[in-house]
Amino acid sequence: MTEFGKTPHRSLREYQDLGVKIVIWPASSLRVAMKSVELFYLELAKKGDARDWLDRMQSRKELYELIGYQDFEKLDHSIEQSVLP
């Protein structure tokens, strides 16, 4: 699906009712992210400060939890231990 194409906007439920099994929105999250980036930089250029955006930013802790960073660290350590004498 694309928000700015010719296909009419329908909900997931409406597609299910039409017999559609899979619906993807491949660019939607990127469009949302880029609009946010645009607004952030406009305000940063205007105010010279990013503090007003802190509550809308993903913290390092949130990022690490999302991607399972601790699992990657464990893997790194296990590889390091198996390679080094």
Q: What is the mean pLDDT of the chain?
A: 92
CB 24 within 8 A of CB 1: yes
Domain spans of the chain?
A: 1-49, 53-85
For residue 56, name the pLDDT band (cuts at 50, 70, 90). very high
CA distances from 63 to 37, 41, 50, 58 (A): 17, 21, 19, 6
Is the pTM here over 0.85, yes or no? no
Residue 76 has pLDDT above 90, yes or no: no
Q: Which residue has the higher pLDDT, 13 or 85?
A: 13
For residue 84, name the pLDDT band (cuts at 50, 70, 90). low
